[in-house]
Structure 1
Amino acid sequence: MDTVRVLAPSGMLGAGWDHATIERGIALGADVITIDAGSTDSGPYYLGSASPKTAAEAVARDLRSLLTAAAGADIPVIVGSCGTSGTDRGVDWVAGIAAEVLAEEGLDLAVARIYSEQDAAGLKEHLGAGRIHPLPPLGELRAETLESCTHIVGAMGHEPIVDALRAGAQVVLAGRATDTAVAAAYPLLRGMPAGPTWHAAKIVECGGQCTSNPRAGGVLATIDAGGFTIEPLDPAVSCTPLSVAAHMLYETANPFEMREPAGTLDVRDARYTAIDDRRVRVEGSRFHVADQYTIKLEGARITGYETVSFSAIRDPGILADLDAWARLMRTMITQRVGQTLGLADGDYAFDLRLYGHNAVLDELEPETGPPREVGVMLLVNAPDQATATAVAKVANPLLLHLPTPGMDYLPSFAFPFSPAEIERGAAYEFVLNHVVDCTDPAELFRTELGEKTRA
């Protein structure tokens, strides 16, 4: 193939789009449809619990749009990081929804599921052999950390996806994958050069984010031997050299480099040229193959159980010296919990956040002066749910009536809901930011062809 056209409808499966933009991409000659379905942006809960952040109905709606269009054009569909975090359960969840859509639409497409979840025992063997290395800011990995994780995934490169396509898959549902691998796989399979392919994949990973109106739909990237061209799928939207080049700043530590399992994309010499008022041509991108192929690990574990309360303050006497009130609140909660529940500081933890007063930027907040109103959020973490809720209940009267030392009356604040305590369940933290040295790009992954009912 002299060119490969990659249609990227959105930055995430389940986000939604106008199906007309998909039809336009097909009319422009799309050779493959690719979309990411996951991220770590929303925190460790989705990996730790193997739960999706998207609604099944939204995923079904988007899959219907993609699968019917792809079937009509006889082109493949590739979905990466299924179920938000790319766990095995997430892949099966998306596969089940896809099976229902295919059945309802009367479509018969070969579906491949690529599983990326890792077993702690197997990883401990890699660790013992010296094949696992930390990425900053984490240090050397301990076997106990692997054992503490509820779920661990490896972020695959393009190779397992290519293998699935070669095996005849028309729909590839992948576990955790790099965002760019999802879009790079088909062009690389068809012989496109690595530099333009990986750069184009980076630009299209978030759909229309590289355009003048990110809400209007996705983009089409046309990759060839000398570079790539990118254009929006909505005729009223534009790509500019600035909007395209700027996406290399997105989620990268270095705006000129981006590491993939197989090597590093280098865009130092890339040139961005406007073809017209809507399309941009990019040339000069390079890809440096790494001496060692590596797979990044992501893992999450439970850190305790959380209960949250929320109150609102508009009393000018409190707001005049809110920091002093917050210090008193922290002291009073600690004292009351010790007196009532007999808990010491190490038995639980809590966070008091003042929304409307430095809750976002803390000491970096440039604005000064008392706020007009403030939302007070109490977040309690304890080894079990009952203890977290008990601490929040002890704090309840303080969140409703605590005066400052200088006040001669009892103020009243406002809880926005009843009961005032909401149990959030298990809380998780990311504990893995490490890579595994691999001799085979597919050795940590498992591929299955065939139907799978929804998990």
Structure 2
Amino acid sequence: MTDSVRVLTPVGMLGAGFPPETVTRGLELGADVIAVDGGSTDSGPYYLGTGTAKTAAGAVAQDLRLLLRAAASAGIPLIIGSCGTSGTDSGVDWVAGIAREILESEGLNLRVATVYSEQRAADLVESLDRIHPLPPAGEIDPATLESCTHIVGMMGHEPIVAALEAGADVVLAGRATDTAVAAAYPLMKGMPAGPVWHAAKIVECGGQCTTNPRAGGVLATIDAYGFTIEPLDPDNSCTPTSVAAHMLYETVNPFSMREPAGTIVVSDATYQALDDRRVRVEGSRFEPAAQHTIKLEGSRITGYETMSFTAIRDPHILGQIDTWAALMRKMIGEWVSRTLGLGDGDYEIDLRLYGYNAILDEIEPDRSPPREVGAMLLVHAADQATATAVAKVANPLMLHLPTPDMSYLPSLAFATSPAETERGAVYEFALNHVVDVDSPTSLFRITLPEAQDD
């Protein structure tokens, strides 16, 4: 059995960019695999709903070129998960197309596997009795599944391992847990599950577990007893606090986290500084689940949206901004009813006051008058024409609405001309469920083309 495995994670997300010299440094330190996440749900349901990427093709190509060169020169695998942001089939094909162009232009002979995670609603309907909600979601019904434009299953490490064992040099996977991308290779090489999964959680976002996240990624060295984390930039550092703190990131419980195959438990983990740059972690464990589950993510269209944005600097209005906002909502309703004949059920408006309480809303602790406020009006309706019509009716109000005690019409400042911006279809996440599976790979499809010709 291998004594240790070194996992190089250059950045938190493919396309975010990283210093090329940090990857070179990782290879010099003996990296056995390069693993990087390619997506996230952080930016909302649009990308899954449309099957498009949030990253620019040029940015992905720049990162991918450096990583393919590094993998080829060192003779080590490259693993990318959640390709194309949401891990749809189109996202995998998009990244695979970029990879093919790079391999051809660079003359690299690498065998590329694609792992697809998109699910058909009809197939899931037939397995409805095996699908269970995660809080706070309720029970699922066929109509909800069928309403989704795209559904993906979040794979664990097993489909990635299957592709590697089949001879892949590069694995481009659909939706995967962030940790599975880094855990797959060391698990395949026989490293213990506790240290592997904990290390994978710590390195998932590259340099975020360091004292300077902008300086590049990290190298995790995993062995039979634990793992060591080291920044790829020699001037960067990991500390016990910076490493341990990453278990607080995107987790409900900082001492445990569920994966498809079981649960990472770090309540007994210890974090020791080996020097001013490296941290040693021991005591992690992994508890296998009685039932392997795959999380389902689905997105659907809820309607169409039009946006207007105006800026307020009038001190009189800002001194009673809540009154102004309440009047704005009331006046829009009255004007839309009178001019368009629409009722409350025909559209929705959301007025957000940026610079005042747009982020925290009612729980904002500082309610003092701001110096300036950006007022964003979002109109949501079943069709684009209705949303835009409502926004146009609101236009004079967004430009000149006074407070009730003002004897003149103020002039506010639209951010754009035209003032109304049609945002198109609006999406929402419709699934927060898991499906019981008999095999960790049964929901996923693996293709393994032959290597490029010499």
Would the TM-score normalized by the shorter structure come out above 0.5? yes
Equivalent residue, structure 2, for 1:289: 288
| Whole-Å separation in 2 of the counterparts to 1:14 and 1:339 | 49
Query: What SS does the aligned partner of 1:308 have?
Result: strand
Which runs of structure 2 are paired with 1:396-411 in the superposition (5 Å)?
396-411=395-410
Q: Secondary structure at the match of 2:275?
A: coil
Deviations 1:312-350 (CA, angstroms, capped at 9, x unpaired): 111122112111111111011011111111111001101
Q: Distance in 2 between matches of 1:252 and 1:357?
A: 29
**Equivalent position of 1:220 in the other structure:** 219
Root mean square deviation, CA, Å: 0.9
Q: Give the aligned partner of residue 194 of structure 1.
A: 193
1:176 maps to: 175
Match of 1:393? 392
Residues 276-425 of structure 1: matches in 2 within 5 Å?
276-425=275-424
For residues 285 and 371 of structure 2, what CA distance do their matches in structure 1 show? 54
The unaligned stretches of length 5 or more in structure 2 are none
- Equivalent residue for 2:10? 9
Q: Secondary structure at the match of 1:80?
A: strand
Counterpart of 2:52 in structure 1 is 51
Hey, what's the Cα distance between the residues in 2 that align with 1:386 and 1:363? 32
**Alpha-carbon contact 1:195-1:285 (below 8 Å) kept:** yes
Structure 1 residue aligned with 2:19: 18
Distance 2:326 2:450 in 1: 58
Secondary structure of the residue that 2:82 maps to in structure 1? strand
User: What pairs up with 1:138-217 in 2 under 5 angstroms?
Assistant: 138-217=137-216
Distance 2:422 2:184 in 1: 43
- One-letter amino acid of the counterpart of residue 227, structure 1: G
- Measured in 2, the distance between the counterparts of 1:348 and 1:372 equals 32
Q: Partner amino acid for 2:435? A: V
- TM-superposed deviation, 1:391: 0.6
Deviation digits for residues 187-244 of structure 1 (CA, Å, limit 9, x no counterpart): 0000000000000000000000000100000000000001101100000000011110
Q: What does 1:418-433 correspond to in 2, within 5 Å?
A: 418-433=417-432
Distance in 1 of aligned mates of 2:220 and 2:404: 64
Matched, 1:38 2:18: no
Instruction: Return the alpha-carbon distance in structure 1 between the equivalents of residues 87 and 188 of structure 2.
Output: 23
Distance in 1, matches of 2:315 and 2:238, equals 49
**Are 1:263 and 2:262 matched, yes or no?**
yes
Measure the CA separation in 2 of the matches of 1:291 and 1:222: 29
For the residue of structure 2 that corresponds to 1:253, the secondary structure is coil
Q: 1:73: which partner in 2?
A: 74
Matched position secondary structure for 1:78:
strand
For the residues of structure 1 that align with 2:265 and 2:408, how far apart are their CA atoms? 65
Separation of aligned partners in 1, 2:294 and 2:356: 42
One-letter identity of the residue aligned with 2:307? V
Give deviations 1:39-61, integer Å, cap 9, x for gaps: 00000000011110000000000
Counterparts of 2:190 and 2:367, CA distance in 1:
58
Residue identity matched to 2:77: P
**SS class of match (2:413):** coil
**Which TM-score applies when normalising by structure 1?**
0.98
Q: Which amino acid aligns with 1:207?
A: G
Q: Do the aligned residues in 2 keep the contact of 1:401 with 1:411 (CA within 8 Å)?
A: yes
Shift in CA distance, 451/325, structure 1 to aligned 2, threshold 3 Å: farther
Contact 1:262 1:290 in 2 (8 A): yes
Q: C-alpha deviations, 1:56-93, integer Å up to 9, x for none?
A: 00000000010001100000000000000000000000
Counterpart-to-counterpart distance in 2, 1:96 and 1:205: 24
Give the Å deviation of 1:451. Answer: 7.7
SS class of match (1:58): helix
Query: What is aligned with 1:131?
Result: 130
Q: Distance in 2 between matches of 1:451 and 1:300?
A: 34
> For residues 127-177 of structure 1, what are the alpha-carbon distances to aligned partners after superposition, in whole Å with 9 as ceiling and x for unaligned?
0xx211000000111111000000000000000000000000000000000
**Aligned residue identity for 2:88:** T
Greater mean deviation of Cα atoms: 254-263 or 357-366: 357-366
1:357, CA displacement in angstroms? Answer: 1.4
Map of 2:107 onto structure 1: 106
Deviation per CA, 1:399-425: give whole Å up to 9, x if none: 001112211111110112100000111
- SS of 1:417's equivalent? coil
Structure 1 residue 369, shift from structure 2 partner: 2.2
* Aligned residue number for residue 239 of structure 1: 238
**In the alignment, residue 220 of structure 2 is paired with which amino acid?**
A
Equivalent residue, structure 2, for 1:443: 442
For residues 197 and 182 of structure 1, the distance between their equivalents in structure 2, rounded to whole angstroms, comes to: 11
| Percent of pairs with identical residues | 74
Moved over 4 A (4+): none
- 1:281 partner amino acid: R
Aligned amino acid, residue 14 of structure 2: L
Distance 1:156 1:204 in 2: 18
Unmatched 5+ stretches in structure 1: none
**Contact 1:99 1:451 (C-alpha < 8 Å) held by counterparts:** no
Q: Which amino acid aligns with 2:343?
A: A
| Aligned equivalents of 1:284, 1:107: Cα separation in 2 | 41
Could you tell me how far apart the structure 2 residues matched to 1:319 and 1:211 are? 41
Equivalent AA in structure 2 for residue 123 of structure 1: L
* Cα distance in structure 2, aligned partners of 1:383 and 1:363: 28
Q: How many residues align?
A: 450
Q: CA deviation at 1:368?
A: 3.0
Q: Secondary structure of the equivalent of 1:20?
A: helix
